[in-house]
Amino acid sequence: MNIKEENIDSFEKRGNYTVSIIECGKTGISQACLFADAGFKVIGVNSNPHILKLLKKGQTPLFKEGTYRTLEKYVKEGIFTVSSDARGAASESDIIVIFVQTKVDEKKKPDYSLLEKTCKEVGMGLKRDSLVLFVSTTGPGTVEGPMREVLEKASGLTAGIDFGLAYSPTRTNYRKRLDELSNSLRVVGALDESSLRIANLILSRITKAEIIKVSSIKTAEAVNLFQTVDSETNLALANELAFMCERLKIDLLEILKVVNKDKAFHLTLPGIMDDAVRRDFYLLLEEAENINLNLRLTPLAKKINDEIVDYTLRLVKDALKVCGKTVRRANVSVLGISRRPNIKEQPGTLKKRIISHLKKKVKVVQVYDPFFSKKELIELGFEGEKLSKVVEKTDCLVILVGHSKFERLNLKKIKFLAKKSPAIVDLSHVVDPLKAEKYGFVYRGLGRGVWTK
């Protein structure tokens, strides 16, 4: 709490301060690299023994290139160390950054038990004059309410007097390089002026972009969740317009190119909702219930986005019908199950539901994703194979994720391997409808109502 600008105005001086990253996972590692790059000593805390073992070597199973090649250098130089003990790490640290994500239970209610447990461990090791900085997504009032209470009770210290308390959410894209990450805008709110000053000062050493200071932690928490709602509602609008374009026999992608040329307007691509966004959506609903507010637009947006499951099945059925094939005897090949394009991440709920529903309707569903091995796909509950095997004797290709590799699909070769009169159902806008029809496919796409068959 006594850190001043002159104390950390050089790389060498920042080496006198230690930052703990509690749970040092995907996003946590990116921030650990930023702090280490700025000169701070960093302790990466993780409860997973496998990840800990890799981190000690400067490696991580979550990333393969770019930013994280520097991690090994930090380990060798002693700037980055690893621990499984949050309490011990907190006792050695001047700044504790908490990355523990809030889970949502089976009833779609936020589960803060892991965050509370972490705060208790941190609290028992918390030393006077340190700063606790939350970056996890939480409902407005969570940090300065129950989490503050847990920290104070476990430490015997008082927030705002004995230690600083602040919140600065991050939606870091961990595939970016360090220089790109350091240019990401940050928002910060704090319990008191002193905490806000210190948090802003620390963040300014890892962020070249603007740091927006808001009036309270609760406001910063709301900023984070409202961004999520914006994503959900914008995607719902895009999906509704996609459904409409199909009926009108026009191409939504052509429309987007025109609309988005005008900076006053922006329409997003339609698609499948991300699980991380949906999790934050449930946190918002819970907070609305706590203040007796009945949200109307956001639940409707969720309902529209969930319709992508039935919409996909309808496109598959329609395409197979045009091909002169019955659904129950069809072989369907699903391309892409990763959460996002061009990276290996567990598939989201809606993608799993689409595949599950397909399995109930068709004869065979095989899955291919360039980022997952056959063994990994089988462990996820899918019938996985390499691409040539998946497309062999298929009746319909369903593209769920727009990996760059799928933009270069050899449609001529696939047409040769597939059964007679195959179909393509493209939910990721990677296949040109006219090209697909040129090679003899029946084409259906999300929002691309330009097919002729």
Q: What is the pLDDT of residue 343?
A: 85
Is residue 452 included in any domain, yes or no? no
* 33 closest CA partner among 208, 203, 178, 187: 178
CATH code where residue 230 lies: 1.10.1040
Query: Do the Cβ atoms of 393 and 333 come closer than 8 Å?
Result: no
Co-location of 178 and 286 in the same domain: no
Round the CA-based radius of gyration of the chain to a whole number and report it: 25
Co-location of 230 and 299 in the same domain: yes
Query: Do the Cβ atoms of 40 and 21 come closer than 8 Å?
Result: no
Q: What is the pLDDT of residue 171?
A: 66
Co-location of 120 and 202 in the same domain: yes
Co-location of 167 and 254 in the same domain: no
Distance CA 403, CA 430 (A): 8
Is residue 440 included in any domain, yes or no? yes
Is residue 453 included in any domain, yes or no? no
Task: Return the C-alpha torsion angle 310, 311, 317, 323, nearest 10.
Answer: -160
Co-location of 296 and 328 in the same domain: no
Q: What is the pLDDT of residue 65?
A: 45
Is residue 12 included in any domain, yes or no? yes
For the beta carbon of residue 329, count every other beta carbon within 10 angstroms.
11
Helix (H, G, I), strand (E, B) or coil at 26: helix
* 273 closest CA partner among 222, 344, 347: 347
Last residue of a domain, one of 215, 250, 279: 215
Model's pTM, two decimal places?
A: 0.87
Is residue 199 included in any domain, yes or no? yes
Co-location of 139 and 30 in the same domain: yes
Q: What is the pLDDT of residue 217?
A: 97
Co-location of 25 and 97 in the same domain: yes
For the beta carbon of residue 372, count every other beta carbon within 10 angstroms.
22
163: amino acid identity, one letter: F
Distances (CA, A) of 229 to 288, 297, 403, 438: 13, 10, 26, 40
Is residue 60 included in any domain, yes or no? yes
Last residue of a domain, one of 197, 215, 233: 215
Query: Tokens standing for 138?
Result: 């939480």
For the beta carbon of residue 328, count every other beta carbon within 10 angstroms.
10
Co-location of 13 and 111 in the same domain: yes
Domain count, the chain: 3
Co-location of 294 and 316 in the same domain: no
CATH code where residue 46 lies: 3.40.50.720
Q: What is the pLDDT of residue 387?
A: 94
The burial of 299, by beta-carbon neighbours within 10 Å (0-12 exposed, 13-18 middle, 19 or more buried), is given as middle
Q: What is the pLDDT of residue 157?
A: 98
Q: What is the pLDDT of residue 259?
A: 94
* 272 closest CA partner among 383, 138, 425: 425
CA-based torsion, 164, 165, 171, 173: positive or negative: positive
- What's the domain range around 233? 224-305
Is residue 451 included in any domain, yes or no? no
Distance CA 323, CA 397 (A): 13
Last residue of a domain, one of 179, 197, 215: 215
Co-location of 262 and 339 in the same domain: no
pLDDT tens for the chain, residues 1 to 453? 688 999 999 999 999 999 999 988 777 888 898 999 999 999 999 988 888 888 888 876 554 444 445 788 888 889 999 999 999 999 999 999 999 988 888 888 999 999 999 999 999 999 999 999 999 889 999 999 999 999 999 999 999 999 999 999 986 555 556 667 778 889 999 999 999 999 999 999 999 999 999 999 999 999 989 988 898 999 999 999 999 999 999 999 999 999 999 888 889 999 999 877 788 888 999 999 999 999 999 999 999 999 999 999 999 999 999 999 999 999 999 999 998 899 888 898 999 999 999 999 999 999 999 999 999 999 999 999 899 999 999 999 999 999 999 999 999 999 999 999 999 999 999 999 999 999 999 999 999 999 888
Is residue 250 included in any domain, yes or no? yes
Query: Tokens standing for 344?
Result: 């290996």
Co-location of 299 and 316 in the same domain: no
Co-location of 63 and 208 in the same domain: yes
* Maximum alpha-carbon separation in the chain: 75
